[in-house]
Amino acid sequence: MRQRICLALDHSGTIVYISDLSAAARRSGLTERNVVGVKFWDFTEPHQRALVRQRFSECVMDGGTVVYDGQSTIEGVEETWNVRLTRLDEPAAYLAVAVQVFPGELPHLSQADHRTLRMLADDFTIEEMAKSIRTSVGTVTNRLHRLREKFRVRTNHGLVAAAARLGVLVGVTASG
C-alpha cells in the first residue's frame, strides 16, 4: 500500500511537522511526538545519510525542488521512499517534504516475471502473453496474480505502476 506523507523541516533539517507516519513506523510504536524534533535524515539508512543531507543542502541553498529515492528499515520492515524536497518562499524557515512510502524490499523476480511485466507494460493481453511465451492463459493469469502479491498491489495497472516506479522495467524487453 502506498502512503503519502508530508513533513515540514526547519533550516537545520529538524522535523517540525509530520502529517502521518508510515505503516512500519506506526507498528514499531513511533508516534508523531517521537518524530517531531528529530533530524530528517536520522530515519534513513546509515549509508544514505550523507546523500540525504546533500540533497537537503541543495534544496536549501539553490531553492526549487530536489527529488531522490531512498530506503529505511524500521523494526525489520524495509520501505522504499520517493522524496520530493521543496523550499518554500514563505515562511522562508521551512522546507516542505512530500514523501511516498512503498513498503517492502524489491521482490525477487525471475526472467519469466520480468518478461511478463514488460509485456503487460507494453499492453499485451493475457492471451497474447500466453501465445508469445508458449504457455497457457491459466499460467499467465497465475503468474500475474503472484506478481500482484509480490508487489502488494490489487490490479495489473497497479503492478505496472509499481514495477516502473521501482525501476524493474528499465532495460527489460518483452522478448526476454
What are the tens digits of pLDDT across the range 67-114? 877 777 777 777 777 788 887 765 555 666 666 665 555 677 888 998
Per DSSP, 84 falls in state E
How far is the C-alpha of 70 from the C-alpha of 39, rounded, in Å?
A: 16
Per the CB < 8 A criterion, the answer to whether 80 and 106 are in contact is: yes
Q: Read off the pLDDT of each residue in 138-151 and give the average, rounded to a whole number.
A: 93
> For the chain, how many structural domains are there in total?
2
User: Per the domain annotation, does 175 fall within a domain?
Assistant: no
Query: How do 95-103 and 15-18 pair as beta strands?
Result: unpaired
Q: How many CB atoms within 10 Å of residue 93?
A: 12
- Domain end marker among 103, 119, 145: 103
Task: Give the closest residue to 117 by CA, choosing from 172, 171, 154.
Answer: 172
**pTM higher than 0.85, yes or no?**
no
Q: Residue 120: which pLDDT band, with cuts at 50, 70 and 90?
A: very high
**H helices of 5-98, where?**
23-27, 32-35, 49-62
Domain boundary among 103, 132, 150: 103
Q: Is residue 170 part of a domain?
A: no
CB 152 within 8 A of CB 103: yes
For residues 139 and 96, membership in a common domain is answered with: no
The CATH number given to whatever domain includes residue 122 is 1.10.10
Tell me what pLDDT residue 88 has.
73
Q: 16 lies in which domain range?
A: 3-103
Residues 158 and 78 placed together within one structural domain of the fold:
no
Task: Please tell me the predicted confidence (pLDDT) of residue 176.
Answer: 46
